[in-house]
Amino acid sequence: MLKFAANLSMLFCEYPLAQRFALAAQAGFNAVEIQFPYSEPAQTLTHALKSADLHMVLHNLPAGDWAAGERGIACHPDRMAEFRDGVEQAIHYAQVLGVPQLNCLAGIVPPNVSQAQAKATLINNLQYAAHALEKASLRLLIEPINHFDIPGFFLNHTQQAIDLIAETGSHNIRVQYDLYHMQRMEGELTQTLQRHMTQIGHIQLADTPGRHEPGSGEINFPFVLNAINAMGYEGWIGCEYIPASTTEAGLGWLNPYRK
């Protein structure tokens, strides 16, 4: 049975964050994920989770100055100390919130930094993060993202992520496979998932174009989701999409998958 988690950074954004947990539970979700929880004290979020009888399945490592356009710093050679501080902060939040795995955004390659420098930095940082997370009984994820939405982002393809994990030598890193990003970059969603399922630790979804809810665009979600279920995927699927109108109005696509 497929399990869906509401991404509270994208869903129910008509309401303050503190109210989104209860709304997700009322909509039938048993779990949530948040891109960046760091604006709120971890204990405050824990209280909201417990009050709504939810658990959190994912959040990201700190990714630099998001408001200024940064999308991760893991490939930035001059910010390795900041990255490591962020790993420690993320582990603290994960342990308080009960989150089992954390996603690392590779980032946009800075000007005057070569692809080789960016890759070497990223591998070093991933090795550090994977080891630190393993000591804390957590797993690390890396996510390929399409270069249309985020030009210059270092990691764009599934195979690139698989190869990068191999180069780290770590057994504590998996791929976060976002159907929206990979439809834009590659297509071949179900075949790619089938080929790499053992190395995929989390799945996210949104339709394209527009990054709205399933059924709003070109992806055949009944086919794709049924295929994922048939593959025996036991992890969560994060609903990381922008509602075309209100979150509640766009949740009808979930009805066939509810228990």
Q: Are 99 and 142 in contact (CB under 8 A)?
A: no
Residues taking part in catalysis: 143, 240
- For residues 103 and 141, the answer to whether their CB atoms sit within 8 Å is yes
Secondary structure (3-state) at 161? helix
User: 3-state class of 95 per DSSP?
Assistant: helix
Of the candidates 198, 232, 200, the residue with the CA atom closest to the CA atom of residue 101: 200
- In 3D space, the residue among 244, 175, 172, 170 whose CA is nearest the CA of residue 204 turns out to be 175
Cβ–Cβ under 8 Å, residues 236 and 58: yes
Q: How far apart are CA 154 and CA 202, in angstroms?
A: 20
Tell me the C-alpha distance between 122 and 99, whole Å: 23
